[in-house]
Chains A and B, each alone.
Chain A
C-alpha cells in the first residue's frame, strides 16, 4: 500500500474513532506489522534475485504460460478431437458422461 494511501486511511480511522487512544494504538500496530512484511519481502528479493539471474542466463526457466485470449471461442458442441489414440475406457467415459450429464 502506498504511504499516502495508508496516511489517508489512518486519518479516516482517527476521525471516526473520535481520538480514542485504542484507535491510535491499533494504527501503530498495523503500521509496524506492515513495515516488517515489507522488510522481509525486500530481504527475500535480495536473496532470490542473483539465483534468478543465474538461471535465466542458463536458459533453465521456461517463459511464463501465455494467457488465453479473453475472447476465446465458445466451447464446441462436439468433444474436442483427441491428439493421441484413445483407449476404449475413454470412449466409455464419454458415453457415461452423455448418459448422465452433470
Chain B
C-alpha cells in the first residue's frame, strides 16, 4: 500500500507495501495553501465541503452525482462543452446519450477504481480550482467497511489528496448533525453523546450507536440494502406488470424519490409516466409501498439489535434521539412507522426524527469538522 500513518504503523498495514516513516512523505504543494475537505463519497451522490484550517467557514459546498461519463467516439464537435472527453456528475447525466456512464461505487465501496480515480480528481478541482493547494480530506466510509474497501479508497486518493482520514459515515453524520452552538444548553441532547443514527444511502443502510465514544464495530451495522435495492425491486415489478415500458434506472429512481412511502398501502396512487412517447397514468401504490417496506423490514431488526446492545446508562436518552438521515430519510412515513413499531414492541417512549433538509450534507459536514479537529499526527500520508 502507499499510505503512511504518522501515528504508528500497524500489523494489518504491513501486509501491503512498506509504510513511510512519519513525515517522510512530502505532500504535493506542501509549501502552498492548505485546504481541508470533508468528503462523503456516496454510491449515488457525493458531497464535498471544503475550507481553510482554523476557521469555521465553508468555501466550497457541492453535492455531485457519483458518476463519470466517458464521451463516446464519434461525437460531433461542440455537442460536449469544450469537447471534453470525460464528464462528471450532472454534466455526465445530462449527456447520457453521448457518454458511457460509469458508477465508480457499488454498495458503498469502490467497484470501478479507474472511474473512482477520475471522479476524485474532479473533486480535487472543485476544492481547489488552482490545482496548487495541498488538500487533506476526511472521507466517510460505510460502517463496518473492511480494510480492502478502505485500502481501495486510499489507493484511488493517491495524487489527489495529500493526507486522508477514513471515518465511518454514521459517526460523521452525528458530528455533522451536532449543533455546536447549543452544547452548553442543558436541554440539548448532544447526538454525539446519545443517539442512534440510521443513514440510508444508495448502496448501504448504516446504523450506528453514538454514545460519547468512538463507535466500536459492535456499535455499527451496515446492511447492503438501500435506495438502489428499492429501485431494483421497483424496476423488476414495473417490467413484470408493464412489459417493454422502457423505463431507465434513472426514471425509476425519480419515481421512487417522488412517491416512496412506508407503512400501510396508500393505494390508489396514480402516477403519470411517459411510455413509448405517450403519457399514461399508472396506479403504483402497492408497487412502490411494497418495495420501500422491504427496506423497513431489513432495517428494523438491525435497529432493535443495536438498541439492545446500548449501554443501560444511555439507552433511554438515545431512544429519544433516533435520527434517520441519507436519501432514505425522504421516504414518506419512515420516521413515524419506525417509531410506532418500536412503541408497539414495548420500547420506552421512542422518538424517531428525520435529519431534515440538509441530510445530504451531514456526513460531509462532520467530515470537515473532523478534518479541522484532527491533530497533525493523526492524518494518514498518501505517498504519491
Are A and B subunits of one complex? yes
CA distance in complex: A87, B372 (Å): 11
Q: Is the CB of A94 within 8 A of B175?
A: no
In Å, the complex CA distance between A78 and B216 comes to 8
Question: How far is it, in angstroms, between the C-alpha of A94 and the C-alpha of B219 when the chains are bound?
Answer: 14
Q: How far is the CA of A77 from the CA of B310 in the complex (A)?
A: 12
- Shortest CB-to-CB span from B56 to chain A, Å, is 13
B214 touches A88 (CB 8 A): no
A87-B373, A100-B12 given as contacts; is B212 within 8 A of A82 (CB)?
A: yes
Asked if B280 is at the interface (CB within 8 A of a chain A CB), the reply is no
A76: nearest chain-B partner, CB-CB: B311
Chain A residues in 8 Å Cβ range of B214:
79, 91-92, 94-95, 98
| Residue contact A92 to B373, C-beta cutoff 8 Å | yes
What residues of A have a CB within 8 angstroms of the CB of B311 in the complex? 78, 81
| Residue among B165, B216, B217, B218 making CB contact with A92, cutoff 8 Å | B165
Report whether A88 and B8 are in contact in the complex, using a CB–CB cutoff of 8 Å.
Answer: no
Per a CB cutoff under 8 Å, which of A78, A89, A100 touches B213? A78
What residues on A are CB-neighbors of B211 within 8 Å? 78, 81
Chain B residues with Cβ below 8 Å from A95 are: 167, 214
Closest Cβ–Cβ distance, residue A76 to chain B (whole Å): 9
Interface string of B367-384 (1 = CB under 8 A from A): 001101111001000000
B216 pairs with A98, CB closer than 8 A: yes
**A93-B7 Cα distance, complex, nearest whole Å:** 9
Contact flags A64-97 to B (C-beta < 8 A → 1, else 0):
0000000000000111111001111101111110
Interface centre among B5, B171, B183, B375 (most CB of A within 10 A): B375
For B8-19 the 0/1 string (1 means CB < 8 A from A) is 101110000000
Nearest CB of chain A from residue B142's CB, rounded to whole Å: 15
In the complex, what distance in Å separates the CA atom of A13 from the CA atom of B337?
87
Which residues of the partner chain A approach B375 to less than 8 Å between Cβ atoms?
89, 92
A87 to B183, CA, bound (A): 13
Cβ of A89 to closest chain B Cβ, rounded Å: 5
In the assembled complex, how far is the CB of residue B336 from the closest CB belonging to chain A, in whole angstroms? 31
- Judge if A99 is at the interface, Cβ distance under 8 Å: yes
Q: A100-B8, A100-B10 are in contact. Are A94 and B374 (CB under 8 A)?
A: no
Interface size, A (range)? 20 to 34
As a 0/1 sequence over residues 213 to 236 of chain B, the CB contacts with chain A under 8 angstroms (1 = contact) are 110111000000000000000000
**Is the CB–CB distance between B12 and A92 below 8 Å?**
no
B313 at interface by CB-CB < 8 Å: yes
Q: How far is the CA of A82 from the CA of B165 in the complex (A)?
A: 23
B130-162: which have CB < 8 Å to A? none
Residues of B within 8 A of A80 (CB): 213
Q: Nearest-CB distance from A84 to chain B (Å)?
A: 10
| Least Cβ–Cβ distance between A56 and chain B, in angstroms | 40
Given that A78-B311, A99-B10, A100-B12 are contacting pairs, would A92 and B213 also be in contact in the complex, using a CB cutoff of 8 Å? no
Query: From residue B138, how far is it (CB to closest CB) to chain A in Å?
Result: 9
A76 to B370 CA separation, bound complex (whole angstroms): 27
Q: Do A89 and B378 have beta carbons less than 8 Å apart? A: yes
Kindly state the separation between the CA atoms of A99 and B369 in the bound complex, as whole angstroms: 21
In the docked arrangement, what's the CA distance between A51 and B217, Å? 56
Instruction: Offer 26 A-B interface pairs, CB within 8 angstroms, sorted by A.
Output: A77-B218, A78-B213, A80-B213, A81-B212, A81-B213, A81-B311, A81-B314, A82-B213, A85-B183, A85-B190, A86-B212, A87-B373, A88-B175, A88-B370, A88-B374, A89-B374, A92-B165, A92-B214, A92-B373, A92-B374, A92-B378, A94-B214, A96-B7, A98-B217, A100-B10, A100-B11
Known contacts A81-B212, A88-B370, A100-B12; 6 further A-B pairs (Cβ under 8 A): A81-B314, A82-B213, A89-B378, A92-B375, A98-B217, A100-B8
A residues sitting closer than 8 Å to B (CB atoms) are 77-82, 85-89, 91-96, 98-100
**Residues on B facing A (Cβ under 8 Å):** 5, 7-8, 10-12, 165, 167, 171, 175, 183, 190, 193, 211-214, 216-218, 311, 313-314, 369-370, 372-375, 378
